[in-house]
Amino acid sequence: MKANKVITGIIGSVLGLLFLAPFYIILTNSFKTKKELFMNTLSLPKGLNFDNYIKAWKELDFIKVFFNSFLITLISIVVIIVFASMAAWMIQRTNNKIANLILYMFIAAMLIPFQSVMLPLVRLMGNLHMLNIPGIIFMYLGFGSSLSIFLYHGFIKSIPRSLDEAATIDGCNSLQTYIYVIFPILKPISITVALLNMVWIWNDYLLPSLTINNEETHTIPLRIFYFFGQYTKQWHLALAGLTLSIIPVIIFYFFAQKQIIESVTAGSVKS
Amino acid sequence: MRRSKVAFYGFIAPCFIAFTITVIIPFIFGIYYSFTDWNGIKSDVSFIGFSNYAEIFSDKGFGSSFLFTILFAVASVLLINIIGFTLAIIVTRKLKIQNVLRTVFFMPNLIGGLILGFIWQFIFVKVFAMIGDATGAKWMLGWLSTTETGFWGLVILMCWQMSGYIMIIYIAALQNIPTELIEASKIDGANFKARMKHIIFPLIRPGFTVCLFLTLSNAFKLYDQNLSLTGGAPRNSTQMLALNIYNTAFKFNKMGQAQAKAIIFFVVIALISLIQVYFSKKGEVEL
């Protein structure tokens, strides 16, 4: 039994190192000069040479694209949390034919892949003059609604109706009941909804690539795509850019990994 | 308790409007466009019946994309589930380093597919070539320049990205198995293999169904990784369905035809998901 555990530990460690290897490779190579990289891609860099990073930082316009990604992700999440929880609460509490029909529509739409609607969507949004940041946030609300409402709906089922009724007796209208009584109780599921949508929106490439034409509003994945096309033969710069783009994700992961893993489990098992 | 209609529609409206405009209307329009000669340039489109669909069946590019996607799905679904399950077994055996290992295995899943594809492009093209040159291992040379290496490149990339995710779901499934059952089987003298076969496998079936179809629909919908790792090269032979639809629309400006492909794509994905629901409901072991 003891020996078994040691062997498992060794296999686990080897696999762990294998999983880390790509990170190690891009990190070490991002500090090399073009010549060093050409000579050897497995050695350690000769020193901590930040030239690649300085150039990549400038070329990516990193602060600006980071801010764009941050802004779009943050506002989209806030909008999704507020509106999806409101809708889910109203649907669950009303629970008549119309409410259920609307719920099934949201759930059934999860079957539709993005590629099946993207062409008419871009045309429609173009006609509405919404190929811009507010338009993107609007679209994230539209695409994020289904899963978010579904998750909220499941959670709200377990909240006793007597809470709503008590608030009504105390003189609260629907909006006040939602704000003061319901929304605070939803906190755990709100965190799940926020994290699931965050991973998706932060990393999304296709929707921004179809809707953002203005360089000023590029998100990180979009800018990386153009940057990479430009420096495809200059791996030392490309790798510095790629490393820069994943640093925020890794930092966030180390702070919120427990919640992220719980959310992902909840999201996948329920859907 | 009655609520006013105003409150009902007021609360649902924001999501419903956004959802209708971004999903429902484009979906309905999409079905219509798939029967037109829409090319993205002229503003009026005319109805041309089933010719887009008819053309797709004689389109060799789409056929080979379809086949490539199916082969990719089979290979990646099998490997991701085997690796993911193995990882789950490893990190649930009460090792000291199990939390570190979980963190490491799950990490690639949070990085965007586009960026992952570029990272692996470097590994396959530069690092593999260097190791191949140094050791004389011929199979490590020329990665991503042939259909086979492009295929396996995509499979390896997806295994790296998704195994940790699948591991998390298997961990949840494994932890749902009552410890008394495991203990009882040990007392009865069942070895590891017997426990796997008679207790663990039957009881993690729900988790297995979820994982199987999650990986399957992800494999079918793959786009970002395909674009950044191979871009369809060489000669579009590693182009998967989603990329084929995109290129039909934006490289060849055949919007109507791309939309017809997108409808077929929808039918395939929807079928996969519905079969999943059917199998999840059926044949799960009750305790």
Q: For residue B213, what is the domain's CATH number?
A: 1.10.3720.10
Is B174 a member of any domain? yes
Fold entry, domain A61-270:
MetI-like fold (1.10.3720)
Say if B266 is an interface residue toward chain A (CB within 8 Å): yes
CA B95: distance to chain centroid?
Answer: 31
Give me B127's structure tokens: 């690092």
Distance from CA of A66 to the nearest CA of B (A): 14
Residue B157 lies in a domain: yes
In a domain, B269, yes or no: yes
Task: Mark yes or no for CB contact B127/A84 under 8 Å.
Answer: no
Other beta carbons within 10 angstroms of residue B66's beta carbon come to 19
- Chains A–B, number of C-beta pairs less than 8 Å apart: 252
Least CB–CB distance from B106: residue in A99, A261, A269: A261
Coil, strand or helix at A214:
coil
* A269 Cβ neighbours under 8 A, 6+ residues apart: B169, B172, B207, B210
Domain coordinates of chain A in residue numbers? 2-49, 61-270
Residue B227's domain comprises 61-281
Tell how many helices (H) and how many strands (E) occur in chain A: 14, 0
The token pair at A250 is 């890794």
* Tally of domains in chain B: 1
Beta strands in chain A (DSSP E): none
CA A172/CA A145 separation, integer angstroms: 27
Per DSSP, the residues of A95-152 read -SHHHHHHHHHHHHGGGS-GGGTHHHHHHHHHHTT--SHHHHHHHHHHHHHHHHHHHH
Asked if B249 lies within 8 A of A119 by C-beta distance, the reply is: yes
The answer to whether A259 contacts chain B (CB < 8 Å) is no
ipTM, 2 decimals? 0.91
Is residue B92 included in any domain, yes or no? yes
Which residues 123-182 in chain A show a CB within 8 A of chain B?
123-124, 128, 138-139, 141-143, 145-146, 149, 161, 164-165, 168, 173-175, 178
Q: List, as ranges, residues 213-252 from B with C-beta within 8 Å of A.
A: 214, 221, 223-224, 227-228, 241-242, 245-246, 249
Which residues touch B147 (CB under 8 Å, ≥6 apart)?
B234, B237, B238
Q: What is the DSSP string of B22-57?
A: IIIHHHHHHHHHTTB---SSSS---B-TTHHHHHHH
DSSP assignment of B78-108 equals HHHHHHHHHHHHHHTS--TTHHHHHHHHHGG
Give the span between the Cα atoms of B86 and A18, in whole angstroms.
14
CB nearest to A119's CB, from B33, B87, B95: B33
Chain A residue with the nearest C-alpha to that of B99: A258
Asked if residue A121 lies in contact with residue B26, where contact means CB atoms within 8 angstroms, the answer is yes
Residue B52 lies in a domain: no
Contact A268 B122 (CB under 8 A): no
Instruction: Give dist(CA A221, CA A202) in Å, integer.
Output: 8
Q: What percent of chain A has pLDDT over 70?
A: 98
Q: Would you call A109 an interface residue with chain B, using a CB distance cutoff of 8 Å?
A: yes
Of B12, B101, B131, the CB nearest to A91: B12
Contacts of A12 in chain B (CB under 8 A): 90-91, 95, 97-98, 101
Q: Tell if the CB–CB gap between A235 and B8 is shorter than 8 Å.
A: no
Written as tens digits, the pLDDT of chain B (287 aa) is 455 788 899 999 999 999 999 999 999 999 999 999 998 777 788 899 899 999 998 888 999 999 999 999 999 999 999 999 999 999 998 888 889 999 999 999 999 999 999 999 999 999 999 999 889 888 989 899 999 999 999 999 999 999 999 999 999 889 888 888 888 888 888 888 888 888 888 888 888 888 888 899 899 999 999 999 999 888 889 999 999 999 999 999 999 999 999 999 999 999 988 887 787 777 555 54
| Interchain pair B26, A124: CB under 8 A | yes
Closest CB to A239 among B23, B100, B122 = B122
Q: Which residues of B touch A123 (CB under 8 A)?
A: 29
Nearest neighbour of A117 by CB, restricted to B18, B27, B227: B27
Q: Which residues lie closer than 8 Å to A54 by C-beta, 6 or more apart?
A: none
What are residue A7's DSSP bridge partners?
A: none
Contact A106 B126 (CB under 8 A): no
For residue B41, being part of any structural domain is answered with: no
Judge whether B12 lies within some domain.
no
Asked if B34 contacts B53 with a C-beta cutoff of 8 angstroms, the reply is yes
Question: What does the pLDDT profile of chain A (271 residues) look like in tens digits?
Answer: 577 888 989 999 999 999 999 999 999 999 998 888 888 888 888 888 899 999 999 999 999 999 999 999 999 999 999 999 999 999 999 989 999 999 999 999 999 999 999 999 999 999 999 999 999 999 999 999 999 999 999 999 999 999 999 998 998 898 999 999 999 999 999 999 999 999 999 999 999 999 988 888 999 999 999 998 888 778 899 999 999 999 999 999 999 888 888 888 887 766 5
